[in-house]
Chains A and B, each alone.
Chain A
């Protein structure tokens, strides 16, 4: 519409010689404008607000624009919070390691020993649980691990125990187990994608030249699939850092993670303190993404 007068006023080119090229130069980017509105207004702006909040303070339940580092100071000077942060990082690291250890043999088996025709359905079966509700996948574990749960009933039926075991649920092991369950598909599929591209003849060549299997694996296989391993680590570690629901439902008081802390602060109207922790987590994640951007880009172009 704005261009219409310009178009009819054709014979006066000298007045607007630079305008038309600008609009034409911007034309290819017009498609971004709805995304700029959506992400700018409702993703970036809220994140900027969180950054600001984390440096402001709350007085009488109102956020006041006083610049301060108190929120960070408060967090790092409270031992429970710091230990929760470390526990979260530790849980994420352990979950990542166990998930990859569980996923690697499966991916290896699929890529090396399964007929290509049978691989597709087996891969789809790995993704299927991922397509069922996240909430339900967490809650179903409470029916398995609880005192009246399936596992206890089963163990009682076969006579292994006579009293239900109560330590199965509402503790850190339950959290780690459920997290492995939730993020297993990510790890398995990423590892499979890189193992599938590997040329197994190289392993045979190495062993023909006298390398024992272990050397062939560590010197030939692992270096070549390292980008896939890195991506799998990121895809498990990062979402686990921000988990809220799993520790909330199966963690009990001993399974608390940093996500629960953030929610507690916001629910208790301590917005600025909650914002400071949120920013810490976001900063950790963005730092990891930037550090591993090369591998992520590679997965992006090869994974298709």
Chain B
């Protein structure tokens, strides 16, 4: 009797775990199916960009590369992303220092205020800036207005990334450098920046990816030009073409590569530096 009950409990447990695993498999399928389909259809000869698969081709990539509208949009996207990255990295890094180190009243309130642009929908940033630019400043919309709008949204991410690294920073290192006679510039250049450099780098890559993909704010603030997401949007309104799938695949590949770099490179840099220090030791000893 008791054995049977124990068996029942064990069977019940196995069933429950099996159900959890099945659910996990389903969820991962759900998460990746749409992305995998985009990639699949970009190589599919079928010109309607759907099933069935009628053959494999690189034709759509060829077409995408030779489309001058896409080339134009790519140029705009990259130049906007570069400017946004520079602004967000400088502004975000500068703000992270006092946020972590200054003797702030209402620190959590200030932190919340600085991250509000992330919490409010991009739509609100877009329409309010659009109203501000056209109604008050009487600016013509251009790539520059997009840069400003994206910078507002992207900078908080850089602040968060750099601030979290600064919080783990051992300030006695700086005090030691000061005791050894380093002035504030030298302390920043030789102690602080090498230690938080990887975080700044990660924040910059983060900013670049976010800018590449940003859609809603850009939609409201763009002038005559097109960024790639906006170009894709104007295309998909009339149905997805395989050419758009090819472009989408390239964009996904770019985002993932950059993001992977943001996570992998800082760690690798640290290892290289540590390796160099270790290999330098016997040399000085000899």
Contact = CB atoms under 8 A, between A and B. Distances in A.
A266 B215 CA distance: 18
Nearest to B52: A153
A110 to B, nearest CB: 8
Interface string A275-298: 100100110010001000100110
Interface in A89-113: 102, 105-106, 108-110, 113
Given A139-B236, A140-B38, A141-B34, A289 B112 contact: yes
Contacts of B121: 238-239, 241-244, 259, 281, 285
B131 interface: yes
6 contacts: A35-B159, A132-B213, A133-B252, A140-B34, A259-B121, A293-B108
Contact of A274 (B32, B117, B127, B164): B127
Contacts of A47: 124, 128
A27 to B, nearest CB: 9
Given A108-B20, A143-B38, A239-B121, A63 B135 contact: yes
B34 A42 contact: no
B79 interface: no
A73 interface: no
A102 B120 contact: no
B91 interface: yes
Contacts of B215: 133-135, 245
B30 interface: yes
A297 B28 contact: no
Main secondary structure of the interface of A (DSSP, over half): helix
Given A42-B132, A131-B259, A113 B236 contact: no
A242 B95 contact: no
B109 to A, nearest CB: 9
B173 interface: no
A128 B102 contact: no
Contacts of A143: 34, 37-38, 41, 49-50, 240
A38 B132 contact: no
Interface string B162-193: 00100100000000000000000000000000
Most buried by B among A30, A63, A131, A293: A131
Interface in A53-101: 53, 63
Main secondary structure of the interface of B (DSSP, over half): helix
A184 B91 CA distance: 31
Q: Nearest 7 CB-CB pairs, A to B?
A: A242-B121, A46-B128, A140-B34, A46-B132, A153-B51, A35-B95, A28-B102
A223 interface: no
Given A245-B216, A266-B131, 9 more contacts: A31-B94, A34-B95, A38-B152, A50-B124, A108-B20, A109-B20, A140-B35, A300-B108, A300-B111
Interface in B179-231: 209, 212-213, 215-216, 229
Contacts of A35: 91-92, 94-95, 114, 155, 159
A154 interface: yes
Interface string B111-146: 110101101111111011111100110000000000
A167 to B, nearest CB: 18
Contacts of A238: 119, 121
B50 A106 contact: no
Interface of B: 17, 19-21, 23-24, 27-28, 30-35, 37-38, 41, 48-52, 87, 90-92, 94-99, 101-103, 108, 111-112, 114, 116-117, 119-125, 127-132, 135-136, 148-149, 151-152, 155, 159, 164, 167, 209, 212-213, 215-216, 229, 232-233, 236, 239-240, 248, 251-252, 255-256, 259
B256 A132 contact: yes
B149 A42 contact: yes
Contacts of B148: 42
Given A50-B131, A136-B252, A262-B123, A129 B35 contact: yes
Interface stretch (A16-24, A144-152, A197-205, A214-222): A144-152
Given A143-B38, A181-B34, A30 B24 contact: no
Interface string A107-126: 01110010000000000011
A102 B128 contact: no
B127 to A, nearest CB: 5
Most buried by B among A105, A148, A181, A289: A105
B152 A136 contact: no
Contacts of A154: 51
Given A39-B114, A142-B240, A243-B121, A135 B213 contact: yes
A106 B27 contact: yes
A131 B260 CA distance: 10
Nearest to A239: B121
A240 to B, nearest CB: 9
A153 B151 CA distance: 43
A31 B96 CA distance: 8
A274 B130 CA distance: 12
A9 interface: no
Nearest to B228: A133
B229 A49 contact: no
A49 B128 contact: yes
A170 interface: no
